């Protein structure tokens, strides 16, 4: 009998170790990691700088709570603040917690201005997490079923209709600049959303949990939002999320308005700081652009439609993606589905040409095997 609640339909392998782009299962078989812990391991497995930072921090101090100042947390917040225009940062443990906190910040902002608002506009195919508010903002019946009542006030719009739906009642528009779980779909209407939010006094929130920190090829998605949420790559493999708020929101939360025991844990911050320093020092977003272009061209050559940006690409298989993902795993390559009918590629930013070609070859072979060569 399994000791778990049945939340995960796991693939039938157990991963025991990782090195760079590759992971090894318990039986000794190596795989190319094309999914990087679902967009977490920007630098791949066991990057020396991340490991050294974690070891040093573990030896020094593992946890203090947020009752006290935490030096390494401040260092990481300072890098983020500088990166995002003097932003003010709150650290959480996960993406969904960052999104919950962001919604609280949005509501508090309007409440402080004497104009309480709670209506949130989200887009079709969005994924914002699994806690109740994040789930309410994730318009997928299979995920929401059985959890009523979800928090009210979420309005779902097709991207090209979203700007026109913003009114003086809108608290915020919450959007992934490139949707992840929904199928690596770039959102083309961010300028129109920015303009509509400005016109109606609503806030614009970017959920950059999957596409952020350079994976899309851009460190900073524009136009600038009022709030961005980060997680995944932020902790370099350890659990860490963040709300990153524009300067005009820096005073919105006052002591006691929000908090967490573990958020901004020193070891997670050390791993995150080493990761972010490396992403910046090695200009890895540029690498995401060049490697992403190679990946995209290779996938398109199979005849499959491809969507995405940078090292966040989805190849649409013309049927359920699961069998293609399984056939790729049998060929020694790990990927996962997105949007039901797409195979999602989220490799480490450090992947090289050989790794990209291996991903493409495995996809092409698996697609031929499963669909008899027909894609689209």
Ligand X SMILES: Cc1ncc(COP(=O)(O)O)c(C=O)c1O
Kindly state the smallest distance separating residue 197's Cβ from ligand X, in Å. Answer: 19
Q: Which spans of this chain sit near ligand X (rule: CB under 6 A)? A: 38, 94-96, 99, 127-129, 176, 180-181, 207, 209-210, 231
User: Nearest residue by C-beta to ligand X?
Assistant: 95
Measured from the CB atom, the residue of 57 and 210 that comes closer to ligand X is 210
User: Distances from the Cα of 362 to the Cαs of 32, 34, 292, 330, 366, in angstroms?
Assistant: 10, 11, 16, 9, 6
Kindly state the smallest distance separating residue 357's Cβ from ligand X, in Å. Answer: 27
Kindly state the smallest distance separating residue 353's Cβ from ligand X, in Å. Answer: 27
User: Distances from the Cα of 59 to the Cαs of 52, 132, 155, 361, in angstroms?
Assistant: 11, 37, 48, 43
Kindly state the smallest distance separating residue 55's Cβ from ligand X, in Å. Answer: 24
Kindly state the smallest distance separating residue 129's Cβ from ligand X, in Å. Answer: 4
Kindly state the smallest distance separating residue 244's Cβ from ligand X, in Å. Answer: 14
Measured from the CB atom, the residue of 38 and 297 that comes closer to ligand X is 38
Contact 350, 43 (CB under 8 A): yes
Collect all residues with Cβ–Cβ distance below 8 Å to 287 and sequence separation of at least 6. Answer: 349, 350
Measured from the CB atom, the residue of 127 and 363 that comes closer to ligand X is 127
Measured from the CB atom, the residue of 57 and 94 that comes closer to ligand X is 94
Measured from the CB atom, the residue of 20 and 180 that comes closer to ligand X is 180
Kindly state the smallest distance separating residue 121's Cβ from ligand X, in Å. Answer: 16
Measured from the CB atom, the residue of 138 and 302 that comes closer to ligand X is 138
Residue by residue, what is the 3-state secondary structure of the chain?
Answer: CCCCCCCCCCCCCCEEEEEECEEEECCCCEEEECCHHHHCCCCCECCHHHHHHHHHHHHHCCCCCCCCCCHHHHHHHHHHHHHCCCCEEEEECCHHHHHHHHHHHHHHHHHHCCCCCCEEEEECCCCCCCCHHHHHCCCCHHHHCCCCCCCCCEEEECHHHHHHHCCCCEEEEEECCEECCCCCEECCCHHHHHHHHHHHCCEEEEECCCCCCCCCCCCCCCCCCCEEEECHHHHECECCEEEEECHHHCCCCCCCCCCCCCCCCHHHHHHHHHHHHHHHHCCHHHHHHHHHHHHHHHHHCCCCCEEEECCEEEEECCCCCHHHHHHHHHCCEECEEECCCEEEECCCCCCCHHHHHHHHHHHHHHHHHHHCCCCC
Kindly state the smallest distance separating residue 41's Cβ from ligand X, in Å. Answer: 14
Instruction: For residue 353, give both structure tokens.
Output: 């040409």
Measured from the CB atom, the residue of 20 and 101 that comes closer to ligand X is 101
Measured from the CB atom, the residue of 298 and 310 that comes closer to ligand X is 310
Contact 246, 227 (CB under 8 A): yes
Kindly state the smallest distance separating residue 29's Cβ from ligand X, in Å. Answer: 26
CA 243 – CA 105 distance, rounded (Å): 9
Measured from the CB atom, the residue of 213 and 366 that comes closer to ligand X is 213
Measured from the CB atom, the residue of 128 and 185 that comes closer to ligand X is 128
Kindly state the smallest distance separating residue 376's Cβ from ligand X, in Å. Answer: 26
């Amino acid at each position: 009998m399994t000791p778990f609640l049945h939340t995960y339909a796991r693939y039938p392998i157990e991963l025991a170790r990782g090195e760079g782009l590759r992971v090894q299962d318990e039986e000794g078989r190596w795989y190319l990691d094309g999914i990087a812990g679902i967009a977490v391991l920007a630098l791949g497995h066991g990057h020396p700088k991340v490991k050294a930072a974690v070891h040093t921090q573990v030896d020094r101090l593992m946890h203090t709570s947020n009752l006290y100042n935490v030096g390494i947390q401040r260092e990481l917040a300072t890098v983020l603040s500088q990166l995002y225009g003097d932003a003010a940062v709150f650290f959480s443990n996960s993406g969904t917690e960052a999104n919950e906190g962001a919604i609280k910040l949005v509501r508090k902002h309007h409440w402080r201005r004497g104009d309480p608002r709670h209506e949130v506009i989200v887009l079709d195919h969005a994924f914002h997490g699994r806690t109740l508010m994040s789930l309410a903002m994730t318009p997928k019946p299979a995920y929401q079923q059985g959890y009523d009542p979800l928090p009210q006030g979420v309005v779902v719009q097709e991207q090209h209709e979203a700007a026109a739906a913003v009114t003086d009642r809108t608290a915020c528009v919450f959007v992934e600049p490139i949707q992840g779980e929904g199928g690596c779909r770039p959102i083309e209407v961010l300028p129109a959303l920015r303009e509509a939010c400005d016109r109606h006094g609503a806030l614009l929130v970017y959920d950059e949990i999957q596409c952020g920190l350079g994976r899309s090829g851009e460190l900073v998605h524009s136009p600038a939002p009022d709030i961005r949420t980060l997680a995944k790559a932020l902790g370099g493999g350890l659990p860490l999320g963040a709300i990153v708020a524009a300067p005009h929101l820096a005073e919105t939360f006052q002591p006691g308005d929000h908090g967490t025991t573990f958020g901004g844990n020193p070891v997670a911050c050390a791993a995150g700081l080493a990761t972010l320093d490396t992403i910046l020092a090695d200009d890895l977003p540029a690498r995401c652009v060049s490697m992403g272009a190679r990946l995209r061209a290779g996938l398109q050559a199979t005849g499959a439609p491809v969507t995405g940006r940078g090292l966040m690409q989805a190849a649409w298989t013309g049927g359920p993606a699961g069998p293609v993902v399984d056939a790729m795993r049998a060929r020694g390559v790990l990927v996962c589905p997105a949007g039901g009918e797409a195979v999602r590629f989220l490799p480490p930013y450090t992947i090289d040409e050989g790794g990209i070609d291996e991903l493409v070859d495995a996809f092409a072979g698996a697609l031929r095997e499963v669909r008899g060569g027909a894609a689209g």
